[in-house]
Structure 1
């Protein structure tokens, strides 16, 4: 008997629909017409054991018991899903072959693998296990996946990476939450100081941003523009570019801070001859951006529809599991396998009859103008891991009653897929360098030649304004012009902006921007940043639930408790450097270029050092609150 183990019931039903009939549906599994069985987990049905499961003495939080580092790691059944685990225990004994059908990511890989290990499945069965990778729940896609089973052993590095991350979260969260909570209680803050390897650096980002805003002092800066005229009385404007000798009067962004310097330039250039020093005109093209992964979709939805990350993820799950309109949504990949291009014509044909509205073109109009023969940079097998970018399936949405959120997200995914079948955006860019009284001035111009994929995107007000600007006159090197006058424009430096849903997600995915060490920054540029595609939304929501963050309109700011917590913690716990490096190492484990031990051994040392460092921290700034014992809830709280 073959046993298919899916990650959740919805996936199990999709698999069973593609397998022999007639079928008998039971509470815990589906019996197929040929005697095979499809069963399922219900997400994670096992969890890391609590400290007191290792030793009853560890139930009480005491500094002298830290750090807690298990000699032999233990899992235990989640109470609500014990019946399903019992059913799987019986089924794996009966099975002659097991097919792993977890979601196509490292968490999905571990979720089934850990059940197999916990149930002590024989080594022989483990060696013969197959891996079923499904990212589209529609029948044709499931059948294609069933015909292309892999060897589950090939995916063990993914499982080991997820296991290392799970244990690291436990070690870091359990130990540091206990250490800092105890110190906080000793200073009068009688509540839990939750610390996690991802949540705390995210909170630190927000706290530091608000501190920068509070401490910001606006400074005036000055720009100089030359109003020029050609021999044919064609007028245009060029901007002064301060020389290297002027940098002592500029800030780090090259903005002039001394008004007298700008006024001196104006007096020197007014009513003076000007000479064209160089003209560079280039035809350029910009190819379509890649299809979405989850983070890029969440960022886009936050910008366009003000949807928070958790809402976008929930909507995506509904579009994937309930409506079967999109492929697997918790993807960190923005590329597609070349094999998928064979389904492009069918998807485009389906979308060309869509009744869903969109701007500036309806989905039907977008699809009817697409060219299925085009192959964009998105189709790249070398960039695709266990899962690919989020794209629409071959199923039509015409007869499905989508809510407004679902329509918006589906439309975004469809458009990002359709632009892969549009030509490049083409434009001509001209850059002119002009010398006036020894000073260098520049003028730029951009002329659109072909909209290409950009015709699917409504122009912003800024873009509409730039399109209304007068083009530069025809100029060539050596032309003599006349500077009629100089113009001084005074501006004020602006404080950094508070985080929003979009910018906080962007910060988490592009965390290298917030790392000061250049060596670490270089390493982090190629990593996924803080958290994973599947966890970022929950991490942000967790910080709101714990009253560490709050919203002010679209702004995300830290609460007084969140600010006090970051001030009380050692700086290493609040910076993204360490946890982002962990993500890089976990990625290396999944790619077989690093080992489990090379990650876990240094981690245990780091945790011990941070517990010791807690003795030196000042917790006096924490508010004094009455203690409300919630020991059971505390033990079950996520601390990643």
Structure 2
């Protein structure tokens, strides 16, 4: 009996072969092992959806009367340059008595190899296939995974979910891009208006934020602090207006009447301040969890100004090329309990790889076990952490080194004690008014010692909205004590416009998309999902919007272009908000968990697309696109986010578009 291992990428194939019997014989696209088994690989997606005109020649020309495009029997074709590798895998499959699926441990990885097996061997080829799940490429992890092969049929729901997403993206993108490009032409716009179930709501977030900034009118508001004298110094306590003052406050509770504030300031001058509440407690703050991809991208954007796509590229190189980190496209921030036993080996590898972290490694208490080690929270893959393999920092690019250091520090934090704060709250009644002071002082840095930079929580501070000197520790006063209000302080403030999106805040918005939905009933559901897009696609979606000329960078700020604003203005509201996409993601996750079926999902989708296309047919030329210049042309690309020429001289997303 001979086994054929089909890996997702050459690097994974080589890692598998490295721990299997030697001698090895390398062929073109495969490795023969000493025991007669063979390892081969895909190169990412070897297959892609065929173009619409493959189903019907009429689709070669873009016309509204030909929409919606519908598909009864889906077909795939070899991606450009991949036919030879497909032929190699087909030949090896015929020779093998057992197949081992070694795709990445997620929905996309499951589908990627499954579709190759189905395409080359038919449905029967998947019978008896084993599943190999590898989260990192170090030899110990690969060997351990090889000893725990699963039945590939157990992962069929993951494949179904990924297949539904791929086909849904194709149908939605092909139909809506053609429909709105043709509608835009009626308004005189000559560019391609690409629409996707993820990219368009992301663009909508930026367009609406830009509109809020443009429409913003600053308004003055006022804060009042009572200055209360006691033997150890002066306490500044912020006035808390009662309900009777609501008519002089905005929706966020800010006081808009200086006259009212001046009146209260006069009333409290020289009056006794009676303590009505005195709370003092020590509060621990545990270490942040290890990174998921999005969390890593957000931190790298904040600290180093790196784009999401740059971070993903660096992480992928650290994983595949250097084998210094585990699987990088993870949406999980937890670790299996078994990984705790590898803490010494991982820590030693960190110190050997990056000497600047030697002190951090020495300070780690490996007997500690943070909340990150939780089997119940780990799915197909775990958080991104360093591997026990050491390397040389000099072999990494500057950006790769920064990403590695972030991942390594975040891992080491799991073996440091909690940071501890002394928190205090004093409440006073002065002339019938309520005043509050809050203080928060870091007493033990714990894991915060690894931050390597000043942090606003590393010093004494008062919570936002409270008065006082941030360097002042509140005294332990007793309830009922009275101290004189010797003075007051009025602070003149101005409301500020919403902040423009940055790479970090846009990623945060995509992961915490529940804040931006219109349908309140979705908020609770969305808090349990991955958000808008997936860990693997978010960076590509943001970059795609830049390439298509819908988003622009101004320093760190991200703004929408005129074309981007015009597209959102032309689309129906439901296509520009994340509600619909969020419902899709929720249903796709339910499909992966065997709680939803493929056919009803696709039937609902095709109905929605038909309704949207009907709206375009009856819609007048959108005024938001009139007079706009076309988005700048982009270089022709192939692959996941590429484009090809089509019928009427327009460009459109290829079938593997990421949404």
Residue of structure 1 aligned with 2:496, choices 480, 494, 511 = 494
**Bigger shift: 609-618 or 268-277?**
609-618
Pair 1:79–1:349, CA change in 2 (3 A): closer
- 5 Å matches for 1:252-267? 252-267=251-266
- Structure 2's unaligned 5+ residue stretches are 462-469, 634-643
> 1:356 offset after TM fit, Å?
3.4
Which residue pairs with 1:39 in the alignment?
A: 40
Which residue pairs with 2:578 in the alignment?
A: 576
Does structure 2 conserve the Cα–Cα contact (< 8 Å) formed by 1:392 and 1:414? yes
Which residue pairs with 1:330 in the alignment?
A: 329
Deviation string, structure 1 residues 20-54 (Cα, Å, up to 9, x no partner): 11111011211111111000111101111211111
Does structure 2 conserve the Cα–Cα contact (< 8 Å) formed by 1:194 and 1:639? no
Distance 1:214 1:355 in 2: 46
Distance 2:630 2:35 in 1: 63
Distance 1:233 1:460 in 2: 28
Distance 1:451 1:63 in 2: 63
Which residue pairs with 1:619 in the alignment?
A: 622
- Structure 1's unaligned 5+ residue stretches are 358-362
> 1:379 offset after TM fit, Å?
1.1
**Bigger shift: 314-323 or 522-531?**
522-531
Instruction: Determine whether 1:72 maps to 2:87.
Output: no
- SS of the aligned residue for 1:299 comes to helix
Which residue pairs with 2:652 in the alignment?
A: 634
Residue of structure 2 aligned with 1:404, choices 394, 398, 402 = 398
> 1:127 offset after TM fit, Å?
2.9
Does structure 2 conserve the Cα–Cα contact (< 8 Å) formed by 1:50 and 1:635? no
Q: TM-score, normalised by structure 1?
A: 0.96
Residue of structure 2 aligned with 1:426, choices 416, 420, 434 = 420
Pair 1:42–1:306, CA change in 2 (3 A): same
Deviation string, structure 1 residues 157-208 (Cα, Å, up to 9, x no partner): 1111101100110110000011111111122112211000011111111111
Which residue pairs with 1:296 in the alignment?
A: 295
Distance 2:140 2:573 in 1: 52
Does structure 2 conserve the Cα–Cα contact (< 8 Å) formed by 1:250 and 1:257? yes
Which residue pairs with 2:566 in the alignment?
A: 564
- SS of the aligned residue for 2:434 comes to strand
Pair 1:582–1:478, CA change in 2 (3 A): same
Does structure 2 conserve the Cα–Cα contact (< 8 Å) formed by 1:354 and 1:364? no
Which residue pairs with 1:191 in the alignment?
A: 191
Which residue pairs with 1:11 in the alignment?
A: 12
- 5 Å matches for 1:510-529? 510-529=512-531
**Bigger shift: 606-615 or 544-553?**
606-615
> 1:544 offset after TM fit, Å?
0.6
Pair 1:525–1:355, CA change in 2 (3 A): closer
Distance 1:579 1:617 in 2: 26
Distance 1:618 1:153 in 2: 50
Pair 1:635–1:505, CA change in 2 (3 A): closer
Which residue pairs with 1:547 in the alignment?
A: 549
> 1:639 offset after TM fit, Å?
6.0
- SS of the aligned residue for 2:367 comes to coil
Pair 1:598–1:433, CA change in 2 (3 A): farther
Does structure 2 conserve the Cα–Cα contact (< 8 Å) formed by 1:570 and 1:617? no
> 1:7 offset after TM fit, Å?
0.4
Which residue pairs with 1:99 in the alignment?
A: 100
Q: TM-score, normalised by structure 2?
A: 0.93
Does structure 1 conserve the Cα–Cα contact (< 8 Å) formed by 2:52 and 2:59? yes
Q: Say how many residue pairs are matched.
A: 633
- 5 Å matches for 1:448-487? 448-460=442-454, 462-463=456-457, 466=460, 469-487=471-489
> 1:521 offset after TM fit, Å?
1.5
- SS of the aligned residue for 1:488 comes to strand
Which residue pairs with 1:360 in the alignment?
A: none
Distance 1:586 1:106 in 2: 10
- SS of the aligned residue for 1:445 comes to strand
